[in-house]
Amino acid sequence: MNDPSPVRLVRVEIDGDRGAVKLNSFPGDRIWVEVAKGGQVVGMVERSADDVGLAASVLEELAEEYANFEPSSYASFPDNLLPKASIVVPTIYRRTDHLNRTVESLLALDYPDFEIVVVDNRPGVNHDPIPEFTGDGRVRVVLETSIGGSAARNRGIAVTTGEFIAFTDDDVIVDRNWLRALGVRFALDEDVDAIGGMVRPTDLETRPQLWFEEFYGGFTKSFLARKWSTKIVADSDPLFPYSAGHFGAGCNMAVRRSAFQRYGGFDVRVGIGTKAKSAEDLKVFINILLGGGTVAYEPTALVRHSHRRSSHEFMIQVFGYGTGLTAMYTSLVLDDPRRLVTILRKVPLGLKMLLRPEERLSPSKLTSFPRRTKVYQLLGMAYGPFAYLRSVVSMRKSRSQLP
């Protein structure tokens, strides 16, 4: 049985009624308050419960703290100026209830013109096909038997027609305005090639779900819109553009079709489902930036992710993320060996920030993730270059066996 989380997750709209929030809790219980203003999540804080839950004074305090925060506005943008959008969801169809929930949330999107492509990425053909989804023909299921999330996403890119392609996963629920926020940002920022959005947890019911937020700071760590390019950032970020976690995550990212044509698609040698584990999303962002393109972060593009519920799953994830990160860096160097010196120069600072972050990554006043978590991460990072080489060899063997 999974240990229950010691933290409750509660969303509060501070520009609405500020009466006390009644919760089934005891005085002193830890509560993570997701602070929302104008429908946008603008902050995350930890507070303690009182006799009823969250006191009205806590809401008044938060309203004052975030009084100067101006949420983004996209609701008034005219529909006829929004570009056509395509949504790609890769799946190995293990959690059918999660996939159905994801597609249901996509069909409820507020957007004038979009299509949804679910990519069945199960290896081989000896399985029952994924049942058709309802939705007035807006959902198609296509097959990609080359294993790996990168291959599945590339297949989705190839069969879609939107001006930009948004990507999410089969364990995510998208906000009703998710696609509109992405479409408006692309329409207003014509120089932006790719966008990462905000990812918040669906719930924090078990300790390992809390550990993910505490250890990584979740998938996204900022509540402010941002934009990066070699001209904008220059030398202000010593890890740019190789820093992990700044730009977004594969479960909430969007790329213009023209950017894929200029900078290439997802690298099939890295990513979920390959021996290199993950970080295919980060490589797309880095390739765009190294090619002279622009990447943005849009906090109003919100999705909610179901984190791993057990400690075993969490540790596998931590090892995999460590492996994927250094495997991806290895692929960048082998793509262009001139990058090796630059990356090596950034390694000491990167390790320092990884092992001893200057800021607390989550609202937790008392972190609870096990000490062995960093060990699993470092072991994964040490294994990453070997994992990438194994992935390359595996890909070559697969191709040689094709008829």
Average pLDDT, the chain: 92
Instruction: Among 128-142, 143-157, 166-180, 197-211, name the one with the lowest average pLDDT.
Output: 128-142
Residue 383 included in any domain: no
Q: Does residue 12 sit in the same domain as residue 123?
A: no
The CA distance from 366 to 361, in Å, is 12
Position 1 pLDDT exceeds 70: no
Its pTM surpasses 0.85: yes
Instruction: Among 240-249, 344-353, 354-363, name the one with the lowest average pLDDT.
Output: 354-363
Cβ neighbour number for residue 269 with a 10 Å cutoff: 25
The per-residue pLDDT for 315 is 97
Q: Does residue 162 sit in the same domain as residue 84?
A: yes
Q: Does residue 201 sit in the same domain as residue 92?
A: yes
Q: Does residue 134 sit in the same domain as residue 91?
A: yes
pLDDT tens sequence across 279-299: 999 999 999 999 999 999 999
Position 403 pLDDT exceeds 60: no
CATH classification of the domain holding 301: 3.90.550.10
Q: Can you spell out the DSSP letters for 30-45?
A: EEEEEEEETTEEEEEE
pLDDT tens sequence across 367-387: 899 999 999 999 999 999 999
The verdict on whether omega for the bond into residue 385 sits within 30 degrees of 0, i.e. cis, is no
Residue 280 included in any domain: yes
Please report which confidence band the pLDDT of residue 400 belongs to, taking 50, 70 and 90 as the band edges.
low
Cβ neighbour number for residue 57 with a 10 Å cutoff: 11
The residue among 271, 295, 314 that closes a domain is 314
Q: Does residue 191 sit in the same domain as residue 266?
A: yes
Task: Give the closest residue to 387 by CA, choosing from 148, 120, 180, 200.
Answer: 148
Q: Does residue 142 sit in the same domain as residue 188?
A: yes
Q: Does residue 31 sit in the same domain as residue 142?
A: no
Q: Does residue 113 sit in the same domain as residue 171?
A: yes
Position 351 pLDDT exceeds 70: yes
Position 104 pLDDT exceeds 70: yes
* Residue whose structure tokens are 């120069």: 345
The residue among 280, 296, 314 that closes a domain is 314
Residue 45 included in any domain: yes
Q: Does residue 183 sit in the same domain as residue 38?
A: no
Please report which confidence band the pLDDT of residue 70 belongs to, taking 50, 70 and 90 as the band edges.
confident
Please report which confidence band the pLDDT of residue 309 belongs to, taking 50, 70 and 90 as the band edges.
very high
Chain centroid offset of residue 244 CA: 12
Instruction: Print the SS3 string covering 319-384.
Output: HHHHHHHHHHHHHHHHHCCCHHHHHHHHHHHHHHHHHCCCCCCCCCCCCCCCCHHHHHHHHHHHHH
Residue 73 included in any domain: no
346 with 237: CB under 8 angstroms?
no
Span 60-79, average pLDDT? 86
The CA distance from 73 to 152, in Å, is 33
3-state secondary structure of 201: strand
Residue 178 tokens read as 């998710």
Residue 282 included in any domain: yes
Residue 403 included in any domain: no
Q: Does residue 257 sit in the same domain as residue 296?
A: yes
The residue among 282, 314, 346 that closes a domain is 314
Q: Does residue 88 sit in the same domain as residue 225?
A: yes
Q: How many domains are contained in the chain?
A: 2
The CA distance from 50 to 40, in Å, is 26
Span 325-340, average pLDDT? 96
* Residue whose structure tokens are 């607390």: 360
The CA distance from 403 to 401, in Å, is 6
The CA distance from 268 to 152, in Å, is 9
Instruction: Among 75-79, 90-94, 358-362, name the one with the lowest average pLDDT.
Output: 358-362
Residue 346 included in any domain: no
pLDDT tens sequence across 212-239: 999 999 998 889 999 999 999 867 788 9
Please report which confidence band the pLDDT of residue 398 belongs to, taking 50, 70 and 90 as the band edges.
confident
The CA distance from 296 to 61, in Å, is 31
The per-residue pLDDT for 252 is 97
- The parent domain of residue 230 ranges over 79-314
Instruction: Among 55-69, 105-119, 261-275, 330-344, name the one with the lowest average pLDDT.
Output: 55-69
The per-residue pLDDT for 395 is 87
Q: Does residue 171 sit in the same domain as residue 197?
A: yes
Residue 252 tokens read as 């909430």
3-state secondary structure of 130: coil
Span 15-29, average pLDDT? 81
